Amino acid sequence: DAGITQSPRHKVTETGTPVTLRCHQTENHRYMYWYRQDPGHGLRLIHYSYGVKDTDKGEVSDGYSVSRSKTEDFLLTLESATSSQTSVYFCAISESPGLAGREQYFGPGTRLTVT
Amino acid sequence: DAKTTQPPSMDCAEGRAANLPCNHSTISGNEYVYWYRQIHSQGPQYIIHGLKNNETNEMASLIITEDRKSSTLILPHATLRDTAVYYCIVRVDTGATNKLIFGTGTLLAVQP
């Protein structure tokens, strides 16, 4: 299995509080992604990174920010958590999407509940 | 929106082949078809991908029609551990990264 860890694995927080989720990889892959998964929606891309300090928005980026100061770490921050951000969050990595067939490897997920 | 259409659920008997269909009628010439699966509460797992030729690996086979408008993932001898949601994805190449757009997939239930 690819070396991807996510922390925390479970978190309950109150509306309006800031929350940071961490994704850590040991594969030295250049590309990292944050997805959220909700019933009836499959996985939806929030933000992605194509290098240190290089990030871009995905399809559901409102209310989220990201940072990548090191190759191995990709942080997802909810500045002021809302109940609509209750979800399971998955991090993924890939080596090089410029080459055909470079699959993404996913972490174990973080279950976030905003009360 | 996802560019693929899959049945919401399928059943398969243990030991038999599972054939999961996917329609992708608007696929472009340089887009690949990827298959992932997600076992309950785990992160998605890559299975196989292809462009226009049939592909086989240790997990599955991928059959792509000649017009590339549909494909079938084949698990040759399904086991109970193959029970999962299977996602058929057409890779969207934006230049900087290959975004994967997941639909709702097919829930495959392997029955003993």
Q: How confident is the model at residue A26 (pLDDT cuts 50, 70, 90)?
A: very high
Q: Is B99 helix (H, G, I), strand (E, B) or coil?
A: strand
What distance in Å separates the CA atoms of residue A56 and residue B62, rounded to the nearest whole number? 32
What's the whole-number mean pLDDT along residues B66-70? 94
* C-alpha distance from A36 to closest chain B C-alpha (Å): 11
Chain A nearest-CA distance from B97, in A, is 5
Q: Is residue B112 helix, strand or coil?
A: coil
Please give the Cα distance from A71 to A86 (Å, whole number): 27
Per-residue pLDDT, averaged over B32-55, amounts to 91
pLDDT averaged over every residue in chain A: 91
| Burial class of residue B74 (count of CB atoms within 10 Å of its CB; 0-12, 13-18, 19+) | middle
- The token pair at B22 is 């996917």
pLDDT band at B100 (very low <50, low <70, confident <90, very high): confident
Chain A residues 30-89 with CB within 8 Å of chain B: 31, 33, 35, 40-45, 48, 50, 56, 58-59
Mutate to test the interface with A, among B97, B100, B106, B107 (most CBs of A within 10 A): B97
Q: Is the confidence at residue B1, as pLDDT, over 60? A: no
Residue A109 has pLDDT above 80, yes or no: yes
